[in-house]
Amino acid sequence: MKRQSLSIRILFAVLAAVFALTLQWNTAVAKGSPKSAFVSDLLGQLDRVKEQIVTLEAAVPQDKYDWRPMEGVRSISEVYLHIADANYLLANFAGIKSPYDTKTLMDEKTRDARTTDKAKIAEELNTSFKWTVDAIGKLTEADLEKKVDFFGQKMTVRSMLLTLLSHTHEHLGQSIAYARSNGVVPPWTAKMQEAVNQNISSKK
């Protein structure tokens, strides 16, 4: 009975933490005024994954930035730079002209290796996400229905933006695995665990 009561308290603490995170996310979305309900929802999702990526990047020590699980795959710094560049690249494919041309962004050997400096990478991530959010926020419903070409595949701008979002989540997952491999707990997970522990302590 005691164990069941403890489990219920833990569940409520987790739900409370999730609710708090969701409230922060919805508040951030409410600050803008997109012309499309789809864009509004997408920006909410993008804002949330961006927050996870930039806080995780901040939590990883500088001396781990050249770490990679094996030869031939991106290092920690290269993954974060790739995320920043992909925002611009996929926006270009969606017909939204970014500050960088597609040919430059596709040169991953040069782009991914341009720096391993933690502070510079943080700046590039934040700049990239800000530009992307501002650019997408200006799209209308008519813009979303336009057809674009993505490596020979025809799709709507709406679908292209979903590709951008899923790509960002893909590399967030990769970054979490990299961080965990180096003993770094994702900040939002640490925050939730702290909330759960505090709740348990207060109920004793």
Residue pLDDT, tens place only, 52-108: 999 999 999 999 999 999 999 999 999 999 999 999 999 999 999 999 999 999 999
Q: Over 80: is that where the pLDDT of 27 sits?
A: no
- At residue 192 the predicted structure's pLDDT band, cuts being 50, 70 and 90, is confident
Q: Which two tokens stand for residue 107?
A: 């040169």
**Residue ranges of domains in the chain:** 34-185
Vertex 25: Cα angle to 19 and 30 (nearest 5): 120
| Helices first, then strands: H and E counts in the chain | 9, 2
Rounded Cα distance, 105 and 38, in Å: 27
- The residues, ordered by sequence, that sit 6+ positions from 61 with a Cβ below 8 Å of its Cβ are 182, 184
Residue 13 has what pLDDT? 43
> What 8-state DSSP symbol labels residue 150?
E
What three-state secondary structure class fits 169?
helix
Predicted confidence (pLDDT) per residue in 124-137, tens digit: 999 999 999 999 99
> Tell me: the pLDDT tens digits for 126-184?
999 999 999 999 999 999 999 999 999 999 999 999 999 999 999 999 999 999 999 99
> Rounded distance, CA 58 to CA 114, Å?
19
- d(C-alpha 51, C-alpha 45), whole Å: 10
CA geometry: angle at 29 spanning 168 and 98, to 5°?
50
Which pLDDT band, with edges at 50, 70 and 90, does 195 fall under?
confident
Distance (Å, whole) CA 65 – CA 172 = 15
Q: Quick check: 8 pLDDT over 50? A: no
- In this structure, which topology does domain 34-185 adopt according to CATH? Four Helix Bundle (Hemerythrin (Met), subunit A) (1.20.120)
Mean pLDDT of 5-13: 46
Give the pLDDT confidence score for residue 2 in this predicted structure. Answer: 46
- According to the model, what pLDDT value does residue 204 have? 59
